């Protein structure tokens, strides 16, 4: 397909210029300028689209983000590739691409997104990505980490065939669940300035990187679930497990913005009948209320830390100590797993390691 054919195909969305990006490379890419935005199309996917307006709406929603990103990084134009398999790629002139979900890693977010508004737009793009994946029935568009119950059962199954050493670990984790519950309740009551409510308060969802003084929250879920963002003042926040197991530390302010954009997209995707994963309808209403408040706050780029700071700081310190202690226990169980080398248990050992 030649550039003029692409131009004819996209005159319906106001295309004003088409430029081949890689004359000899495959797949062939076309840079499209239009009155509705600028983007890049991949030639071998064009025949798969039957409704140009549908394609253009999906492409153009991200064009503002890409244009700003590439202006900041020195590129002459933004490049964006979309294909029907729910894969977004941002490309540079050398055709080096990043999967969109990888663009929220700490390094790329900090390097490519220089302000909060861009982070918000990136969150919206990721939300769109997850919505498309869910709508198409894709099974692996967003991996949900296992919950605490599954982890406990795996440990129990393992220990029955090998050793009872894992039992203290399970007892320890269970003993700390009330503290995590109290922490969650304080968030819901507004005693801690948190942005979102986590679905699963399982202990293994909390980690601590003591060297960097960062709290790591794991177990973030797919587009049809709520997530959590904490603001502890001097204790910065790290998120692990977002969109299929990323393990990255985020700039707190930018990540707040990104989650705001993400949920501005994904909440519109939910219906009342689809809230079972969120728990009771009252919880869903609370989450939606929080999201709306966050979106308003993000646009004004102001943040309030005046809500019961004393009690919030106290609970923060308790959770900090808890996570630090729990990390030591996690190391103990990992050491135990390394010792289980019997061939018939190998698969179970690998599965258990993946849960940790």
Please report the pLDDT score of residue 175 as a whole number.
57
Task: Evaluate whether 4 touches 22 at the Cβ level (below 8 Å).
Answer: no
Query: Residue 101: is its pLDDT beyond 50?
Result: no
The pLDDT of residue 114 is 42
The span from the CA of 311 to the CA of 352, in Å, is 36
pTM (global) more than 0.85: no
pLDDT tens per residue, range 33-82: 666 555 555 554 444 333 333 333 334 333 433 444 344 444 433 333 33
CB of 48 closer than 8 Å to CB of 84: yes
Highest mean pLDDT among 85-89, 127-131, 195-199, 234-238: 127-131
Nearest to 216 by CA among 174, 192, 179, 246: 246
Contact 326, 176 (CB under 8 A): yes
Q: What percentage of residues in the chain have a pLDDT greater than 90?
A: 0
- 236-240 and 247-248 beta bridge pairing: antiparallel
Q: What is the model's pLDDT at position 269?
A: 31
**Three-state DSSP class for residue 230:** coil
Q: Most confidently modeled of 17-26, 163-172, 240-249?
A: 17-26
Measure Cα distances from 14 to 11, 47, 49, 110, 143 in Å: 5, 19, 17, 34, 38
Is the pLDDT at 206 greater than 50? The verdict is no
Query: Given a cut of 60, is residue 275 above it in pLDDT?
Result: no
Backbone angle region of 112, left / alpha / beta, with phi > 0 → left and psi within -120 to 50 → alpha: alpha
Q: How far is CA 188 from CA 181, 234, 286, 299, 321, in A?
A: 11, 21, 8, 23, 21
Backbone phi, psi, residue 209, to 5°: -95, 90
Neighbours of 305 (CB within 10 A): 10
Query: Measured between alpha carbons, how far is 257 from 102 in angstroms, rounded to an integer?
Result: 17
pLDDT at 329: 57
User: What's the whole-number average pLDDT of the chain?
Assistant: 43
Averaging pLDDT over each range in 13-17, 71-75, 265-269, which range is the top one? 13-17
Task: Confirm if 201 and 177 have CB atoms less than 8 A apart.
Answer: yes
What confidence score (pLDDT) does residue 196 get?
32
In the predicted model, what is the mean pLDDT of residues 231-256?
Answer: 34
Mean pLDDT of the 109-127 span: 49
User: 122 falls in which pLDDT band (50, 70, 90)?
Assistant: low
Residue 29 has pLDDT above 50, yes or no: yes
What is the H or E stretch that residue 83 is in? strand 80-83
Which residue would you say has higher pLDDT here, 181 or 196?
Answer: 181
> Residue 260 pLDDT more than 50?
yes
Q: How far apart are CA 326 and CA 320, in angstroms?
A: 10
Model confidence at 19: pLDDT above 60:
yes
> And the tokens for 98?
């990043």
Mean pLDDT score, 96-102: 33
DSSP state of 196: B
pLDDT at residue number 161: 46
Render 85-144 in DSSP notation, one character per residue.
TTEEEEE-TT--EEEGGGGGSHHHHHHH--SHHHHHHHHHHHHHHHHHHHHTT-SSSSPP
**Residues 315, 182 contacting (CB under 8 angstroms):** yes
DSSP-assigned beta bridge partners for residue 97: 91
For position 78, what pLDDT does the model report? 34
Q: What is the tens place of the pLDDT at every residue in 304-342?
A: 333 333 444 444 444 445 445 545 555 555 555 455 444
Q: What is residue 285's predicted lDDT score, i.e. its pLDDT? A: 43
How many of the other CB atoms lie within 10 Å of CB of 340? 17
Rounded Cα–Cα distance for residues 55 and 140 (Å): 23
Tokens standing for residue 286? 């609370």
Which of 159, 202, 201, 209 shows the shortest CA–CA distance to 333?
A: 159
pLDDT at 270: 29
Structure confidence at residue 296 (pLDDT):
43
Burial class from Cβ neighbours inside 10 Å (0-12, 13-18, 19+) for residue 110 reads: middle
């Amino acid at each position: 397909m030649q550039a003029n054919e692409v131009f004819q195909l996209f005159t319906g969305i106001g295309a004003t210029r088409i430029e081949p990006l890689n004359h000899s490379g495959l797949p062939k890419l076309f840079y499209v300028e239009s009155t509705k935005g600028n983007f890049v199309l991949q030639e071998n996917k064009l025949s798969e689209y039957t409704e140009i307006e549908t394609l253009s709406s999906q492409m153009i929603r991200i064009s503002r983000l890409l244009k700003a990103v590439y202006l900041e990084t020195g590129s002459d134009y933004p490049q964006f590739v979309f294909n029907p398999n729910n894969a977004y790629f941002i490309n540079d002139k050398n055709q080096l691409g990043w999967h969109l979900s990888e663009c929220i890693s700490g390094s790329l977010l900090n390097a490519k997104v220089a302000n909060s508004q861009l982070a918000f737009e990136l969150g919206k793009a990721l939300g769109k990505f997850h919505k498309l994946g869910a709508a198409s029935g894709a099974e692996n568009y967003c991996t949900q980490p296992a919950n605490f119950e599954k982890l406990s059962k795996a440990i129990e199954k393992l220990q029955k065939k090998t050793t009872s050493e894992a039992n203290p670990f399970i007892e320890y984790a269970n003993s700390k669940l009330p503290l995590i519950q109290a922490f969650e309740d304080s968030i819901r009551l507004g005693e801690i300035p948190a942005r979102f409510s986590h679905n699963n308060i399982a202990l293994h969802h909390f980690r601590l990187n003591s060297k960097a003084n960062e709290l790591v929250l794991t177990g973030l879920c797919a587009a049809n679930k709520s997530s959590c963002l904490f603001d502890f003042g001097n204790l910065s926040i790290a998120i692990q497990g977002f969109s299929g197991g990323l393990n990255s530390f985020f700039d707190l302010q930018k990540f707040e913005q990104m989650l705001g954009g993400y949920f501005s997209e994904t909440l519109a995707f939910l219906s009342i009948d689809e809230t079972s994963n969120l728990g009771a309808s009252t919880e869903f209403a609370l989450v939606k209320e929080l999201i709306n408040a966050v979106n308003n706050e993000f646009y004004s780029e102001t943040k309030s830390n005046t809500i019961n700071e004393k009690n919030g700081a106290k609970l923060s310190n308790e959770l900090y100590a808890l996570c630090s202690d729990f990390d030591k226990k996690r190391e103990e169980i990992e050491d135990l797993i390394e010792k289980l080398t019997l061939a018939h248990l190998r698969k179970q050992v690998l599965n258990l390691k993946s849960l940790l």
